[in-house]
């Protein structure tokens, strides 16, 4: 609970950093469920109207239960902030679709279902980008004007091509060579135990560990374990260990090579 509380406070602070104004947060939120999700969510009003008409108080209990899961939207920096609400949204989507189908005449049901399937599949292969001049919508296979999030650029559709491009792209340059050298030292046993200190932000010197080195290890199937707030522990086997920490951890670090990226010129 303490780790969760500290993480929540950190996310809240990041959400109020310069550049993350209301307009930017709305842009990030807009791509999270684009576009089929928003069409179904717009039909969520039908669910509440139907619940009022039938006096089905379970619908209102469901809404109350979903409120805590929607709270991260207030500080949204990435589409993944909606993940806690996904179970509730799926139920809403299904019920909204059922009610929408019931409102159409029988001859329109097949067409409406086919349209919903098309709207769901099309964004995997095609994308629309919003621009501030005519024609305002630019189609393409990949986003022409992606939206920046804390997890990188995202767009309205073209998901297949984005995934292929992301998987094929190398890790960013900059601190990558240093991270690769540390990964080799850990793998060979030249540095059996390493403590890397620095901020988690990609744009800080500590990003070499929290971003590049961590991704290298994760791709090798070596997963970190959160052992304390802002402290990740990697067990590479045969006595080899890596600790990523924002500040000097309280745990025992005897025998560790310490690289302090909070002061890039200092190593001991």
Q: What is the pLDDT of residues 115-158, one digit of tens each?
A: 767 777 887 888 877 766 777 777 878 777 777 776 777 777 78
Q: Say yes or no to pLDDT of 53 above 80.
A: no
Q: Say yes or no to pLDDT of 232 above 60.
A: yes
Q: Are 249 and 188 part of one and the same domain? A: yes
The top-scoring range by mean pLDDT among 70-79, 121-130, 215-224 is 215-224
Which of these three, 84, 108, 126, is where a domain ends? 126
Higher pLDDT, 242 or 199: 242
Q: Are 185 and 245 part of one and the same domain? A: yes
> For all residues of the chain together, what is the average pLDDT?
75
Look at residue 14 in the predicted model and tell me its pLDDT: 67
Mean pLDDT of 197-212: 76
Q: Are 218 and 106 part of one and the same domain? A: no
Q: Are 116 and 44 part of one and the same domain? A: yes
Mean pLDDT of 234-251: 86
The two structure tokens encoding residue 130: 């919003």
What does DSSP say about strands 137-140 and 127-130: parallel, antiparallel, or unpaired?
antiparallel
Distances in Å between the alpha carbon of 5 and those of 2, 17, 210, 226, 229? 5, 19, 21, 14, 10
Q: Say yes or no to pLDDT of 93 above 50.
A: yes
Q: Are 181 and 117 part of one and the same domain? A: no
Q: Which domain holds residue 61?
A: 2-126
Look at residue 251 in the predicted model and tell me its pLDDT: 76
Q: Count the domains in the chain.
A: 2
Q: Say yes or no to pLDDT of 260 above 60.
A: yes
Do residues 75 and 83 lie in contact, with contact meaning Cβ atoms separated by under 8 Å?
no
Q: Say yes or no to pLDDT of 99 above 50.
A: yes
Q: 139 in a domain, yes or no?
A: no
> Which of 231, 150, 158 lies closest to 197, judged by CA?
231
Q: 13 in a domain, yes or no?
A: yes
Q: Are 122 and 182 part of one and the same domain? A: no
Higher pLDDT, 113 or 170: 113
Q: Say yes or no to pLDDT of 264 above 70.
A: no
Residues 6+ positions from 231 with CB-CB distance below 8 Å:
243, 244, 245, 246, 249, 251
pLDDT classification of 234: cutoffs 50, 70, 90: very high
- Comparing 98-107, 158-167, 208-217, 249-258, the range with the smallest average pLDDT is 98-107
């Amino acid at each position: 609970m303490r780790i969760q509380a500290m993480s929540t406070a950190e996310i809240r602070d990041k959400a109020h950093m310069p550049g993350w104004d209301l307009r930017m947060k709305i842009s990030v939120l807009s791509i999270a469920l684009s576009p089929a999700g928003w069409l179904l969510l717009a039909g969520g009003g039908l669910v509440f109207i139907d619940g009022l008409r039938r006096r089905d108080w379970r619908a209102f209990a469901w809404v109350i239960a979903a409120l805590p899961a929607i709270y991260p939207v207030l500080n949204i920096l990435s589409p993944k902030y909606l993940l806690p609400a996904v179970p509730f949204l799926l139920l809403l989507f299904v019920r909204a679709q059922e009610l929408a189908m019931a409102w159409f005449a029988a001859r329109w049901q097949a067409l409406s279902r086919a349209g919903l399937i098309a709207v769901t599949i099309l964004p995997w292969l095609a994308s629309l980008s919003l621009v501030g001049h005519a024609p305002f919508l630019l189609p393409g296979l990949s986003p022409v004007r992606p939206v920046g999030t804390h997890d990188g650029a995202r767009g309205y559709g073209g998901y297949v091509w984005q995934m292929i491009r992301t998987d094929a792209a190398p890790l960013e340059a900059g601190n990558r060579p240093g991270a690769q050298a540390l990964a080799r030292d850990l793998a060979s046993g030249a540095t059996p135990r390493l403590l890397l200190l620095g901020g988690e932000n990609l744009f800080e010197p500590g990003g070499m560990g929290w971003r590049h080195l961590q991704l290298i290890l994760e791709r090798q199937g070596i997963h970190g374990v959160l052992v304390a707030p802002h402290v990740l522990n990697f067990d590479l086997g045969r006595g080899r260990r890596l600790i990523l920490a924002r500040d000097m951890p309280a745990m025992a670090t005897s025998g560790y090579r310490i690289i302090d990226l909070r002061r890039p010129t200092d190593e001991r």
